[in-house]
Amino acid sequence: MAIDPSVGLLPQRRGSGERAGTGGASFGALLRRHRLAAGLSQEALAERAGLSARAISALEHGERRAPYRATVQALAAALGLTGPERAALEDAVSRSRSPRAAPEPAPNPLPSSPTPFVDRTAEREAALKLLRGDGVRLLTLTGPGGVGKTRLALEVARDLQEDGGAPFPDGVWFVDLAPLRGPECVLDAIAHTLHLHEHERQPLPVALRAHLRASRCLLVLDNFEHLLAAAAQLADLLAACPGLKLLATSRSRLRLRWEHSLPLPPLAVPDATAVHTTEALAAAPAVALFVERARASNPAFALTAANGPAVAALCRHLEGLPLALELAASRAGVLTPAEMLAWAERRLPVLGWDAPDVPARQRSLGATLAWSYVLLPATEQALLRRLAVFAGGWTGAAAEAVTGARELGLDPLEGLTRLSDASLAHARPPPGGRGSGCLRRCGSSRWSGCRRAANERRSSAGTPPTSGPWPSGCGRSCGGPAGRRPWPRRRRSGPTSGRR
């Protein structure tokens, strides 16, 4: 049996809902009795409950049965039912469900994933623990573009769907925000996913709050980074709807008091100082993803003792970033791992593919960096361009001296914090040294058109410059076209704080 999305109910043949189970009034009969006793028309009850008049009619006439728990609660509240009357209405729903009926399908099937899920055990368990607990209402999976936020969110959502209705008896709903043009569209997108419609006498935001107020559900809000201005609307929903929880994916934190953030690092890579067997290499998450995607491009590809060291070196060079690994693996039909490594060392920023089912912003590392960059305010863009002169990291004093943050109207600490919130800088290396350095190298190449920036980059491995910040306007000239000159090799000496 399929769900009628306009009312969130299971269809039933006309007339079969007059009596349900072995005795007692049906849900439809009870609903009609209470509505008439309250002196309400179907339209008036629908407006109070945040439903459509058609939904009320279908319930009363037995055309639909087994409404969702949130629907029953909304109707009971609209009718002012308490105690035994409310319990009787809820009991009628239980009787209307046939014990032989097929399980009710999920109200919002989650999108299928085109690739297998590669090990994210620690992050997956952490997210599930937070969302199953009572203390977290908004969890944001953060990280740079291409790190796998959407993929993890979908796996967590599937785990919660398979919990048998607990802790979200009213469903887990996936809302794709990537196509939205502006923050004013966010509530409309949520309402559309929940199959809510605007009434003439009830604006959509009011109907949405009324629907969610009686619900215990999880909304998965995917790709929120370009809609941060809508964060306050989410705060209003959370305040009004105590049973609502949100799982967001975003390159930037939402900066709400409700928010708990779970940064997602790249995949673990093989240790360069250890000797690995082929089996040990295959167990490394970054290698496992690369091999799986390489086989998709070249079924004959196999990890061997001969190519294992090159595969490990490639994964380390790409620092375990899933998008970078997939882009490299797409060349497995024409390049060996050693050739991929040499090619990536020269052409990393333009490493890309033309897959039509991949968003344009994720078809190359340069494109994914550009998407993060254009979402920044102009002052933070300038700060990021100036930070690109550092080859391996920086101290706070060096960053302040070289970037001239105050000249840009930014407090240095606040500016660095905002870049960290946008997953474009790290206060310290993530566990195991996993960072997003390959994106930094793309940025260095993209912004190396300024001769002064190149000179500063060459001297950044020594003591911080003492001649003060760059002259006004220098940052604006650092946005040269990608690939004008190669990025510098990482320096292995000199003081650094580990910021990336």
Of the pLDDT bands very low, low, confident and very high (cuts 50, 70, 90), residue 489 is: very low
Q: Could you tell me which of 328, 333, 361 has the C-alpha nearest to residue 346? A: 328
Q: According to the model, what pLDDT value does residue 244 have?
A: 96
Residue 8 has pLDDT above 50, yes or no: no
Contacts (Cβ under 8 Å, ≥6 apart) of 366: 349, 350, 352, 442, 446, 482
Question: What's the rounded Cα separation, in Å, for the pair 451 and 26?
Answer: 79
If one compares 107 and 27, the residue with the highest pLDDT of the two is: 27
CA 221 to CA 175: how far, in whole Å? Answer: 5
Measured CA distances, 63 to 4, 6, 58, 60, 106 (Å): 11, 14, 5, 8, 20
Please list the residues that pair with 364 across neighbouring strands. 352
The vertex-243 CA angle with 240 and 245, nearest 5°, equals 95
Q: How many CA atoms lie within 13 A of 332 on its CB side?
A: 23
Beta strand 244-250 with 259-263 is unpaired
More confident residue, 492 or 270: 270
Q: What does the pLDDT read at residue 95?
A: 58
For residue range 314-347, what is the model confidence (pLDDT) as tens digits?
999 888 989 889 888 988 998 999 999 988 777 6
pLDDT at 94: 65
String of DSSP letters for 34-80 = HHHHTT--HHHHHHHHT--HHHHHHHHTTSEE---HHHHHHHHHHHT
Q: What is the pLDDT of residue 58?
A: 76
Using the predicted structure, report yes or no on whether residue 397 has a pLDDT greater than 50.
yes
Q: Which of 293-297, 325-329, 423-427 has the least mean pLDDT? A: 423-427
Closest C-alpha to 252, from 370, 383, 126, 141: 141
Higher pLDDT, 371 or 257: 257
How much is the average pLDDT of 421-438?
Answer: 56
What's the confidence (pLDDT) of residue 12? Answer: 35
Q: Which residue has the higher pLDDT, 376 or 302?
A: 302
Evaluate if residue 192 carries a pLDDT over 50: yes
DSSP-based three-state secondary structure for 491:
coil
- Average of pLDDT values for 175-185? 91
pTM of the model: 0.64
Highest mean pLDDT among 155-164, 285-294, 418-427 belongs to: 285-294
**Residues comprising the chain, all counted:** 500
The two beta strands, 217-222 and 244-250, are parallel
Report helix, strand or coil for 218: strand
Q: Report the percentage of the chain scoring pLDDT > 90.
A: 30
Distance in angstroms (rounded) separating the CA atoms of residues 355 and 364: 11
Mean pLDDT, residues 373-402 taken together: 76
Compute the radius of gyration of the chain from its Cα atoms.
27
As a dihedral over the C-alpha atoms of residue 179, residue 182, residue 186, residue 189, rounded to 10 degrees, the angle is: -40
